[in-house]
């Protein structure tokens, strides 16, 4: 099987988040038509956000591992994106990425991702070329994900400190569920803004 284009990963991710957004729109209409309670609608936003983050992690994992698999891996059209090592299977690449005694690797954290990129790819490209603004969406998405999936006091405190910060918000939007449904810039929900930010990142690295 020949190598696949990195851009296929971006296309697949965009299809996934477009489907999630259609679901979000149906949920919003159901709430507006009074078929759902507000809490139910907000919980749905959280579930859809987790799915978007999982899709992002899957896209990044496939890209990084695929770039070092040869043959039958992933090929980027960016000539500056080159592997530092080559392995023959995705299973071997994942074993290296996860580290000793672990079955999975964390792909949402900036530091962890850059460490793996520098280990597998020359000069960490394409991830080392991302701007601070691009990384901001990734970093904040991680805090939001953790506050949803593992709502410990520590996770919720980090969400408040790192995501909300000093932004004045109504009490309901200071919860992770209400925050995602709340309005951000240009009349979009924050769910839409963060998913758009992740989409930009995937589009920049998978081309």
Q: Residue 7, class by beta-carbon neighbours within 10 Å (0-12 exposed, 13-18 middle, 19+ buried)?
A: middle
Q: Which pLDDT tens digit goes with each residue over 110-129?
A: 888 999 999 999 999 999 99
Identify the helix (H) or strand (E) that includes residue 74: strand 74-75
pLDDT for position 159? 97
pLDDT for position 105? 86
Q: Which pLDDT tens digit goes with each residue over 154-195?
A: 999 999 999 999 999 999 999 999 999 999 888 899 999 999
pLDDT for position 57? 96
Residue with tokens 């959280």: 46
Distance CA(20)–CA(31), nearest Å, equals: 17
Q: Give the number of C-alpha atoms closer than 13 A to the C-alpha of residue 195, restricted to the C-beta side.
A: 28
pTM, whole model, 2 decimals? 0.94
SS (H, E, C) 91-121: HHHHHHHHCCCCCCCCCCCHHHHHHHHHHHE
Distance CA(117)–CA(124), nearest Å, equals: 5
pLDDT for position 2? 54
Q: Are 68 and 83 in contact (CB under 8 A)?
A: yes
Segments of the chain with pLDDT less than 50: none
């Amino acid at each position: 099987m020949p190598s696949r284009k990195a851009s296929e990963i971006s296309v697949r991710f965009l299809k996934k988040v477009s489907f999630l957004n259609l679901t979000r729109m149906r949920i919003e209409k159901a709430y507006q038509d009074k078929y759902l309670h507000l809490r139910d609608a907000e919980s749905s936003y959280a579930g859809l956000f987790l799915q978007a983050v999982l899709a992002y992690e899957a896209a990044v994992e496939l890209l990084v591992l695929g770039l070092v698999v040869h043959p039958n891996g992933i090929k980027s059209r960016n000539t500056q994106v080159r592997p530092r090592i080559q392995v023959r299977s995705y299973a071997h690449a994942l074993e290296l990425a996860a580290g000793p005694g672990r079955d999975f690797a964390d792909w949402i954290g900036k530091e962890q991702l850059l460490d793996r990129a520098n280990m597998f790819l020359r000069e960490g490209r394409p991830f080392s070329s991302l701007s601070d603004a691009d990384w901001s969406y990734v970093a904040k998405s991680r805090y939001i994900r953790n506050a949803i999936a593992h709502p410990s006091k520590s996770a919720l405190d980090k969400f408040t400190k790192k995501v909300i910060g000093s932004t004045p918000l109504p009490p309901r939007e200071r919860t992770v569920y209400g925050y995602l449904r709340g309005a951000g810039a240009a009349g979009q929900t924050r769910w839409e803004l963060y998913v758009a930010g992740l989409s930009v990142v995937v589009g920049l690295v998978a081309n």
